[in-house]
Structure 1
Amino acid sequence: MGAHSKGVVHLDAPAVPGADETQAKESKPPAPQRDRYFDSLRALALIRVVAYHTFGWAWAGMVFPSMGIMFGLAGTLMAKSLERPALKVVKSRIRRLLPPFWFWGVFVVLAMLIHDWIPNWEIVYWVVPLGDPPGNAWGEQAWEILWYLRTYLWFVLLSPLLLRVFRLAPLPVLALSLAPILVLNFLWSGPDNRFGTALWDLSTYLFCWMLGFAHRDGVLQRMKPAAVVVLSLAAIGFGGWYAFAHQADFGTYDLDEDPLAQAFWSAGCVLLLMWAKSSFGIDFAWLTRFRRTNRIVTVFNARAVTIYLWHQIALILAVPLIDQFWNVPAFEKYLPLESQWFMFGISWLLIGFFVLSCGWVEDVAAKKKPKLLP
């Protein structure tokens, strides 16, 4: 969710006051270099999320498990950040997350109030989403995506403890991070409330988050290739088998409806992606040669929270907008107004509008100068 970059070696500042301008310029630290491999994965994950919410493809999560990948990337970044004092890091992460959420929430809450929503004390979850924020059925399509922010927030709060435990015994702890979802699925389903829902989501993606720690600490790089491939394929195989074997229970093989299948499928895929990065040093540096593509990846990463929050509203608004196109004879004749792909395209135009008009909040949250585009 946040921006991440490789470590940078800073050159020493001029030792003598009044050193010439050339020396001063040479003494400036180089700009941080972004890891285009991780940036590209995050951009693809966001595109897949929008596509899934547009087309509803049940197979999309198996082709590219976006949420597992995003939690894995966030875990890597968190482990890197925790090289600094933990309290500072947690405060920084919360500060970067909450202002964009509040800004977006003002519009959603006001719209629901206008449409007869009567809130109670649970509206506090619209301030700090430690539990799912409440709302009415009218606004459900907008606020149902907040589970990701809630889960991310809990992982941020728990990370100082999780990282400490992980470093006691990296591989055993990593393996045991799949235990909670097995317990919830087979032994105890947890309480039927906000805490129980959060527990399920945390358990589903705990392994992916811990994989981020493993990548950052070099644990994956030390694993034998054969073991990684066998374990990854075994996890993917079990997740896929469970999803298809329990279609009757969930009404679909969609991983988003089946936490256990999601946990294992995501675990296997993210393990392969993270291990490949560690072992082969993949950085996608070649991407910088393609200016437009590189620019798009940059924008996606700098505006990830904005894109995620506003994409459902873009999809909602696309429907009445396309309805108006039917009133224009030329549009009706030449445009594929009934196609979901057309709706997908219109939604991205609206997402672009929200990035331009609302993305600056992410800059403010990061204590940067607000920009139209990063």
Structure 2
Amino acid sequence: MEADAAAPPPERPVRDRYFDTLRAAALVRVVTYHTFGWAWAGMVFPSMGVMFALAGTLMAKSLERPAAKVVKSRLRRLLPPFWFWGVFVVLAMLIHGWLPPWQIIYWVVPLGDPPGNAWGEQAWEILWYLRTYLWFVLLSPLLLRLFRLAPLPVLALSLTPVLALNFVWTAPDNRFGSALWDLSTYLFCWLLGFAHRDGVLQRLHPVLVAALSLAALGYGGWYAFSHQSDYGTYDLDSNPLAQAFWSAGFVLVLMWAKAYFRIDFARLTGFRRLDRTVTVFNARAVTIYLWHEIALILAVPLIDQFWNVPAFEKYLPLESQWFMFGIGWVLIAVFVLVCGWVEDVAAKKKPRLLP
């Protein structure tokens, strides 16, 4: 009994601050892009490719446990925050004249794009990411088995589907086709997460990684700029093939560097406020992603009211998008405080204002 009493408490799992920082940066980039619409933002930092790669490595780690339990746990963590957010969005659309079709079932389990009206489109159009993530979670037990049969060949061939959709077979213009495009676009990044977790990347020679990365970036960048007339822009979000290859080359370096140089950003803990911010971003990632568009939508009428205050009109840059960007983050912080607790409940934790 005395020995048991003297035993130290079990250590809590240590967070990988490198991955946490990448996820926080990806979320900031998403909000920035949706505020300013900069076409070049995706080339500076392909946030969705980064997020899928991080999710892939965490999924591979989790699948050391029984697959059914892992999938159930992922669904439990994802769906309650989505349902909570969806209640407000669906009610708002109903108030604004939306008559839901039978496809409203996708607001319960987003295996396909949930329906909605044009009034709420800016809020619900971001759900493609949750739908794609959900499908990757469901497919991961099979994908991981396939990957481990021949890691490098499977990783290389994972870019084949997006090439096939682009040059061989056109996917139907419906929910199935949209899901197929997104899964094909980010399959390589998801499998990169597997490759990192299984130690495949750290065995690759730096010269090979540099050559493969530059080749992918070069092809993705060339395709984006050479097909602007087809897509109306070089924005990667409008061009799945360019997105797939640019993200592949960019994320390959990030994941390989993590494995090869054993980067952990452990020194981040020495900067308490920055470390705290990264912690909050990761613990409230779903909340930030779901609510950020609504925050940006609400920022516009809120700033309109500022014009009625003479001092605000005189001294504040009310016409600046940067000002809207700042107000948007203030509203995101409010949503994190008011709605973030749902993520705690979904994870079977005690609800808290901030983690």
Question: Is the structural similarity TM-score above 0.5?
Answer: yes
> What is the deviation of 1:242?
0.2
Where do residues 29-68 of structure 1 align in structure 2 (5 Å cutoff)? 29-68=10-49
**One of 253, 273, 280 as aligned partner of 1:272:** 253
| CA displacement, residues 304-348 of structure 1 (integer Å, 9 cap, x when unaligned) | 000000000000000000000000000000000000000000000
Match of 1:7 in 2: none
Counterpart mapping for 1:61-80 below 5 A: 61-80=42-61
Q: Does 1:186 align with 2:167?
A: yes
* Match status 1:95 vs 2:76: yes
User: Judging changes above 3 Å, is the alpha-carbon distance between structure 1 residues 20 and 152 closer, same or farther for their aligned structure 2 residues?
Assistant: closer
One-letter code of the match for 1:142? A
How many residues in Structure 1 have an aligned counterpart in Structure 2? 355
Aligned to 2:325: 344
- Report matched runs for 1:155-170 at 5 Å: 155-170=136-151
Q: Which amino acid aligns with 1:222?
A: R
Q: How many Å apart are 1:120 and its aligned residue?
A: 1.4
Pick aligned residue for 1:294 from 275, 278, 283: 275
**TM-score under structure 1 normalisation?**
0.94
CA distance in 1, matches of 2:2, 2:16: 36
CA distance in 1, matches of 2:138, 2:218: 32
Give the Cα separation in 1 of the matches to 2:198 and 2:27: 26
Q: Secondary structure at the match of 1:32?
A: coil
Distance 1:291 1:373 in 2: 15
Q: Provide the C-alpha distance between the structure 1 equivalents of 2:3 and 2:220, rounded to a whole number of angstroms.
A: 63
Structure 1 letter corresponding to 2:98: W
Residue deviations 1:338-372 (CA, integer Å, cap 9, x gap): 00000000000000000000000000000001010
> In structure 1, what is the equivalent of residue 134 of structure 2?
153
d(CA) in 2 for partners of 1:120, 1:212: 37
* Structure 2 residue 121 is matched with structure 1 residue 137: no
TM-score if structure 2 supplies the norm length? 0.99
Question: Which of 186, 190, 193 lines up with 1:212 in the alignment?
Answer: 193
Unpaired stretches in structure 1, ≥5 consecutive residues? 1-16
Whole-Å Cα distance in 1 between the matches of residues 4 and 280 of structure 2?
A: 37
The one-letter code sitting in structure 2 at the alignment partner of 1:265 is W
- Residues 1:306 and 2:287 are matched in the alignment: yes
Task: Say if 2:232 is the partner of 1:251.
Answer: yes
Q: How many Å apart are 1:113 and its aligned residue? A: 0.1
Partner of 1:19: 3
Query: Where in structure 1 do 4 or more consecutive aligned residues deviate above 6 Å?
Result: none
SS of 1:19's equivalent in the other structure is helix
Amino acid at match of 1:54: T
> 2: distance between equivalents of 1:225 and 1:279?
9
Deviation, structure 1 residue 20? 6.6
- Can you list the C-alpha shifts for 1:43-102, whole angstroms capped at 9, x where unaligned? 000000000000000000000000000000000000000000000000000010000000
- 1:228 and 2:200 matched: no
Quote how far apart the aligned CAs of 1:193 are: 1.2
Using the TM superposition, give the Cα deviation of residue 19 of structure 1 relative to its aligned residue in structure 2, in angstroms. Answer: 3.4
Shift of 1:30: 1.3
State how far apart, in whole Å, the 2-side matches of 1:20 and 1:205 are: 49
Q: Deviations over 1:242-297 (max 9, x none)?
A: 00000000000000000000000000000000000000000000000000000000
Compute the displacement of 1:18 (Å): 4.1
Q: Which amino acid counterpart does residue 305 of structure 1 have in structure 2?
A: V
1:373 match? 354
Quick check: 1:263 aligned with 2:244?
A: yes
